[in-house]
Amino acid sequence: MMSRSELESNLVSEIAKTLAHEIENKGQATLLVSGGSTPVNLFKSLSNVQFDWSKVTVSLVDERFVPDGHTDQNGELVKANLLQNKAAKAQFIPLVQNAENAEDNLQRVKDAFSTDHFPLSVVILGMGTDGHTASLFPDAPELDYGMNLTTKESLIITNPQAAPHQRISFTRRALLNTNRLILHCYGQEKALILKEAEKNQDYHIYPIVAFIGQDIIDLEVYWTE
């Protein structure tokens, strides 16, 4: 079985190749990443890859609605680990731009993303132990709206019941509008969740199934122990 460092090396190579290709063909590229501990080493490795980072826009698939400097903010993780070294030249769109007002913040972030960013170049999803991805949680009242492919909104506010903080999240429709969709996760527990999700096919139980069981874009799974 591949080690985590080998898997990360392969994934860094694939991400960089896709971003460089997008820059060459479109003049710019957009990368959406996930937070948490899983991608930290991936971020550090990717930050040292040489290409024209000034033409790359980086953002997150979701964010906790907390101010800059808060230990739970994924943006802080991205700034500390990815937007360093050669990647310091990338453009970063934070998903929290007004920590005082969630609705105003949502509109500001929507305004920051233009049609030029779509289709996205690369989306890297993570997955929680409850099968959630982005901030599309099984117990969030906004789950069906966020999963509905006829939803016109690219970003929504979500309120998970069992997880801390209100969130801002890209919708499934927006996340599937990408050239590469990648799930990056580790450990036997996550492997079991993926198997269970594929078996029951109900995104209300395991939201990740809505990204596995669709025919819009292949989900590339990067998993190891």
So what's the pLDDT on residue 157?
98
Please write the tens of the pLDDT for every residue from 56-75.
999 999 999 999 999 999 99
Single out the residue of 184, 133, 128, 178 nearest to residue 9, CA to CA.
184
Query: Which residue carries 């989900």 as its tokens?
Result: 219
pLDDT (tens place) for every residue of the chain, 225 residues total: 899 999 999 999 999 999 999 999 999 999 999 999 999 999 999 999 999 999 999 999 999 999 999 999 999 999 999 999 999 999 999 999 999 999 999 999 999 998 999 999 999 999 999 999 999 999 999 999 999 999 999 999 999 999 999 999 999 999 999 999 999 999 999 999 999 998 988 999 999 999 998 999 999 999 999
Number of other CB atoms surrounding residue 171 within 10 Å? 23
So what's the pLDDT on residue 15?
98
So what's the pLDDT on residue 200?
86
Please write the tens of the pLDDT for every residue from 135-157.
999 999 999 999 999 999 999 99
Domains of the chain by start residue, with CATH? 4-224 (3.40.50.1360)
So what's the pLDDT on residue 205?
96
d(CA 6, CA 1): 10
Please state the pTM of the whole predicted model: 0.98
75 near 67, Cβ under 8 Å?
A: no
d(CA 47, CA 215): 32
33 near 124, Cβ under 8 Å?
A: yes
